[in-house]
Structure 1
Amino acid sequence: MSSTDGFSDFFYTAPDGLRLHARIYGETNSGTWPVVCLPGLTRNARDFHELALYLSRTANPRKVIAFDYRGRGQSAYDPDIGHYTIGIEAGDVLAGLAALDVEEAAFIGTSRGGLIIHVLGALRPAILKAIVLNDIGPVIEAAGLAHIQTYLDPAPKPKSRAEAIDAQRVAHGADFPALTEADWERMVSALYRETDEGLLLPDFDPQLVETVAGLDLSKPLPDLWPHFEALAAIPLLAIRGANSKLLSADTLDEMQKRHPGMEAITVKGQGHAPFLETGNLPGAIAAFLDEAECLDRISKPQDQI
C-alpha cells in the first residue's frame, strides 16, 4: 500500500475469467462493517477516493472497498458488449467480496451502483447491512437518461486537463453551480486516464456508450419498486442532487413512504450525481453508518455479538 495514496490495489477473477480490480482502503480487521463503494455507469473506483479516505480514518474507521466494474478503470475490457449488464456486474461484485472473505457490509451506490444494490438485495440480501443510494432509486427519469446519452455520445477526448475541465463544465455546469475549481479538477482526475503520449481518454470501454445509446426513451422505463420494497428492513440513506434529472423529488418522496425508516438528504447546487466528498456529506454518511451499526448490535442477542 502506498502511504501517500492511502489504498492498495486488489485484482481478482470474475466468474467468466475476466481480470477485475478494486481499491482497498483502511485496516482489514477494523471491527466495524466494511463499506463497499459502487460507481456509476462509466465511472470507476477513483470517484470514491476522498470519501474512502475519510471513512477509513474516522473515529470508527472502516475498511472500504471501491470497485472498478468490467470495462472501467483498471478492470479488463469485455470483448462481448452483451456482458455489460447490471446482473453480470452484480455477480462480479459478489465474486470480489468472496475473494476478500467479506460476508456482510454497508454499500454505497452511485447511479448504476445503486441499481446493482437493488439486484444484490434479490441475489444475496444477507450481505446488505446498510445502504446509501446516491441519486438513484427504483424509478429512472427518461430525461436523465437522455442527458447521459447527450454527453456520452461522443465522449469528449480533450487535449489537456484545462480542456477536459471545460468540457465537463459545458456538460454539467448548469446542474452543478455549487462545485468549486477543486471539485471539477477531482472529477476530471477520476474520469480520465493519461496515455503514454500524454493524451487524456475517458477511462472506460467505448462500447459502454452503445449500451446507453440504444435505449428507446420514447417507451416507459421499467421500475424496480419490488426490489426496493425488499430492502425495507435494511437501514437506508438516500441522497439526491437538487438539480437531478435522473431521480425526481416525487420518487424520493415515494421511497420514503415505502421505506418509512429511510433517511434522505437533498444536496443544493448539485445534480446527477452529487459529489459524496463535498460539504457535510462525508460526516453525514459516517454518522448514518455508525448509527445503523449501533442499532444492529443492540438488536442482537448478547451471544451473537
Structure 2
Amino acid sequence: MSSYRDLFVSAADGLRLYARDYDPGRPGALPVVCLPGLARTSEDFHDLAEALSVDPDRSRRVLSLDYRGRGRSEWDRDWRNYDVRIELNDVLQVLTAAGIEKAIFVGTSRGGLITMALSAARPTLLAAAVLNDVGPVLESVGLKRIRGYVGKLPSPRTMQEAAQILRHISGPGFPRYTDYQWEKMARGTWKEDEGQLILNYDPNLMKTLESLDLESPLPDLWPPFEGLKPFPVLAIRGGNSDLLSADTLQSMQERHPRLKAITVPDEGHAPSLEGDLVQDIRQFIIDVEASA
C-alpha cells in the first residue's frame, strides 16, 4: 500500500501538475512542502516525506511536487515557461488546491530559489525554510556542469547502465556513493516507457540553461535571500558542491541571524536527503515548532 496519494492540480494556464501527498490524516503539526531541483522530481524526497509523515512523536503532512515538464506533471509546449516565476505560481496553485496555508519549505537547488522567491510573493505561507545546496550566489562552474548534461544524457538500456552514466558525470562529487545510491538517483532521472528508458523530464529544459551567459555576472539573489530573514532557515551544503561555495554559506550565516548551517562531507551538488540528514531536518522542524 502506497504511503502517499497522487494529487493532480490544474495550473493557471490549464497544464496538469502532479504532487505526492503524504497525509497521515492527523491535524496539528505544520505541513512540509518539498520542491526539487531543476531536472529532479518529487521522488527525491521520498525518504524524508515518509519519515516525517509517520513520525510517531509528531506526524505531519508532506507535499512533494513535480514542476511542469518533470515527473508526472504535463510537459509545456513552450519551453520558455520553464521559468522560476511561472513555477512559483504553479506551486501556489498546488498549495491552494491542497488547502495548505502555512508550511515549512524544503527546497533543493531550484526549489530553494523558488522558496526565496516565495518569501517575497507570499511570505504568509512560510514558517521556515530548508535550503539544500543553494544560496544567493550560484557558482558558474556548477551551472556549466549542469548545462553540460541536462537534456543531453544518452539512453541507457538498463537502470544499472543508467547508474553508471550518472556515476561518470557526478562521481567525483560523491566518492562514497554506493551502487544502490547511484541506481536510486538513476530511477529519478529516467523512467520506463514501452520497454525503454527515457528521461523523466522534458529535454527542452536544456534550452533554459543555454540562454544563460555564464561568462557575465549572474543576477544578484541576495535581495530574495534577505526575504527569508524573518524565518528560521536550515542551509545544507555538500562539502564538494560546485554550485554553493563555503564562502557563500558563511556569508549567509553572517547575514541571517536565525540560519543554521550543515556541511555534508564527501557529497557534491546536491546532497541526498536521506540518512542523518533526515534526522537533522526533523530536529530543525521540531525546534521551529517549539519556538513558534
Give the TM interval when normalised to the shorter protein: over 0.9
**Counterpart in 2 of 1:288?**
284
Provide, for residues 1-39 of structure 1, a one-character-per-residue CA deviation record: whole Å limited to 9, x for no partner: xx2x31110001101111110000132433100000000
Q: What is the one-letter code of the residue matched to 1:294?
A: A
Instruction: Tell whether 2:218 aligns with 1:224.
Output: no
CA-CA distance at 1:55 after TM superposition: 1.0
Whichever residue aligns with residue 245 of structure 2, its letter is S
Shift of 1:151: 2.0
Q: Distance in 1 between matches of 2:8 and 2:222?
A: 34
Corresponding residue SS for 2:188 = helix
Partner Cα distance (1:191, 1:154) in 2: 12
Match of 1:168 in 2: 166
Structure 2 segments unaligned to the other structure (5+ residues): none
Provide the rounded CA distance (Å) in 2 between the counterparts of 1:206 and 1:154: 7
Separation of aligned partners in 2, 1:120 and 1:25: 22
**How far has the Cα of 1:238 moved from its partner?**
0.2
RMSD: 1.0
Partners of 2:204 and 2:150 in 1: CA distance:
11
Q: Paired residue for 1:111?
A: 109
Question: Does the 8 A contact of 1:140 with 1:223 survive in 2?
Answer: no
Q: Give the aligned partner of residue 192 of structure 2.
A: 194
Following superposition, which runs of at least 4 residues in structure 1 exceed 4 angstroms of deviation? none
Contact 1:246 1:272 in 2 (8 A): yes
Task: Please name the residue that 1:274 is paired with.
Answer: 271
Which one-letter code corresponds to 2:187 in the other structure?
A: S
Find the partner of 2:92 among 88, 91, 94. Answer: 94
How far did 1:153 drift? 5.2
Question: Which one of 109, 120, 123 corresponds to residue 122 of structure 1?
Answer: 120
- 1:33 alignment counterpart: 30
Cα deviation 1:103-142 (Å, max 9, x = unaligned): 0000000000000001111100010101000000011000
**Which one of 36, 59, 62 corresponds to residue 61 of structure 1?**
59
Check whether the contact 2:264–2:271 (CA below 8 A) recurs between aligned residues.
yes
SS in 2 for 1:155: coil
Deviation of the 1:160 alpha carbon: 1.1
Shift in Å at residue 82 of structure 1?
1.4
- C-alpha separation in 2, matches of 1:122 and 1:106: 15
Contact 1:153 1:213 in 2 (8 A): no
In the TM superposition, what are the counterparts of 1:4-83 in structure 2 within 5 Å?
5-58=2-55, 59-83=57-81
How do 1:198-209 and structure 2 match up within 5 A? 198-209=195-206
Aligned to 1:301: none
Following the alignment from structure 2 to structure 1, what is the Cα–Cα distance between the partners of residues 164 and 272? 18
Number of paired residues?
A: 291
The answer on 1:239 being equivalent to 2:236 is yes
Conserved 8 A contact 1:178-1:268: no
Query: Identity over aligned residues, as a percent?
Result: 49
TM-score, with structure 1 as normaliser = 0.93
Question: Residues 239-293 of structure 1: CA distance to partner in whole angstroms, max 9, x if unpaired?
Answer: 0000000000000000001102200100011000000113x10001000001101
1:149 is displaced (CA, Å) by 1.2
Q: Deviations over 1:159-185 (max 9, x none)?
A: 111110100000001000121222112
Q: TM-score, normalised by structure 2?
A: 0.98
Distance 1:47 1:173, change over 3 A: same
